Amino acid sequence: MLNKEQTQKIHSELKALIIKLQAFNVKASFISDTTTKLVSSKEKVFLRIITDEIFVHENNYISIQPFVLKHQTDKLFYILCSKLKVNTTVFARKCLVKSVSKEDAKIFLEKYHLLGNCSSAYQLGLYNSSTLVALATFSKGRKMDRLQEDKRSFELLRFCCLGGTTVTGGLSRLIKHFVLLKNPGDIMTYADKQFGEGKSFLNLGFKLLNQTEGITFYVHTKTLVSITDKAFQELSFQEQLHYNAYKTIGNHKLVLSL
């Protein structure tokens, strides 16, 4: 349970976020100390702060850890704008598909994807004029027992859009372009449970393969750099004192068979 001081801090941070959302005529009301209802003219979303490891997914709920609210406010703001359907809309069919350099992909992901950048083999972007509005990154192909000998499985590692922008058909177009380039046997990806059931992937034909358990990771109190549990265990006791532990909810593992 949260103590009084922790509750006050969360409410203070939530109010700052709500002020930004009010520019889009979003109305907010506190349901409890950790749950806030946000309503736009098009959608209703419940933002829930996770304060323990107990989690039950419900429709229209976004559940996030306290450090995300505190230290990744801009990214959370963009996520909420998307969920509340107050974004500017760009149509993927009017965009140009191009390869994106690793450096440009890193900058884009660090700014707009909640998990930031990760190593990838292929980066594809949608450009509206000269502006990168959507990005998908993929792994190298991997041999899988479920596929024919000459086929490979690729992982969709990251997908995100420019902050404040919804690219209608963006994910579908980038995947279709990647299929033409690499002719994969299938494409696998993970959908974070804290943001729903992976509906956008299911709508594209992905099927649920299984579900993964949450993992523990650690965030440095000053730099906000996150590290794995293995890396944390290798630190000295004094170094460990500068980190806070968090646990993810887990993921839906999804596969698109081709």
Bridge partners for 189 per DSSP: 254
Do 77 and 32 fall within a single domain? Answer: yes
Q: Are residues 108 and 163 in the same domain?
A: yes
Residue 162 belongs to a domain: yes
Task: Please tell me whether residues 103 and 28 are part of one structural domain.
Answer: no
- The reply to whether 78 and 132 lie within a common domain is no
Nearest to 201, CA basis, from 214, 213, 189 = 189
**Phi, psi (deg, nearest 5) at residue 78:** -65, -40
Residues 103 and 137 both lie in one domain: yes
Distance, CA of 165 to CA of 160 (rounded, Å) = 10
Q: Is residue 160 part of a domain?
A: yes
Final residue before a domain boundary, out of 184, 204, 231: 184
Q: Quick one: how many helices (H) and strands (E) in the chain?
A: 8, 16
Q: Taking Cα atoms as reference points, which of 146, 203, 212, 210 lies closest to residue 175?
A: 203
Q: Would residue 248 count as lying in a domain?
A: no
Domain boundary among 44, 62, 86: 86
> What does each of the 258 residues of the chain score in pLDDT, given as a tens digit?
567 777 788 888 899 999 999 999 999 999 988 899 999 999 999 998 877 655 556 678 888 888 788 888 999 999 999 999 999 999 999 999 999 999 999 999 999 998 889 999 999 999 999 999 999 999 999 999 889 988 999 999 999 999 999 999 999 999 999 999 999 999 999 998 877 778 899 999 999 999 988 878 887 877 767 788 889 999 999 999 988 887 777 899 999 999
From residue 40, alpha-carbon distances to 82, 85, 93, 235 in Å are 11, 8, 27, 46
Q: How far is Cα of residue 61 from the mean position of the Cα atoms in its chain?
A: 14
Residue 213 has a pLDDT of: 85
* Residue 100 structure tokens: 């994106």
**CA dihedral angle for residue 36, residue 41, residue 44, residue 46, rounded to 10 degrees:** -20
> What CA–CA distance (Å, rounded) separates 195 from 59?
10
* Structural domain boundaries enclosing 55: 4-86
Contact 135, 175 (CB under 8 A): no
pLDDT on residue 115:
85
> Among 61, 86, 111, which residue terminates a domain?
86
Residue 250 forms part of a structural domain: no
Total domains, the chain: 2
Pairing between β-strand 61-64 and β-strand 96-99 as defined by DSSP bridges: unpaired
Residue 216 within any structural domain of the chain: no
For position 136, which CATH number holds? Answer: 3.40.630.30
On whether both 67 and 100 belong to a single domain, the answer is: no
State the sign of the Cα–Cα–Cα–Cα dihedral 26, 30, 31, 32: positive
Structure tokens at 150: 């000459």
Whether 227 maps to a domain, the answer reads no
Tell me if 208 is assigned to some domain.
Answer: no
- Same-domain status, 32 and 79: yes
User: Does residue 33 lie within any of the structural domains?
Assistant: yes
The angle formed by the CA atoms of residues 209, 250 and 70, to the nearest 5 degrees, is: 145
Helix axes 4-21, 73-83, angle to 10 degrees: 60
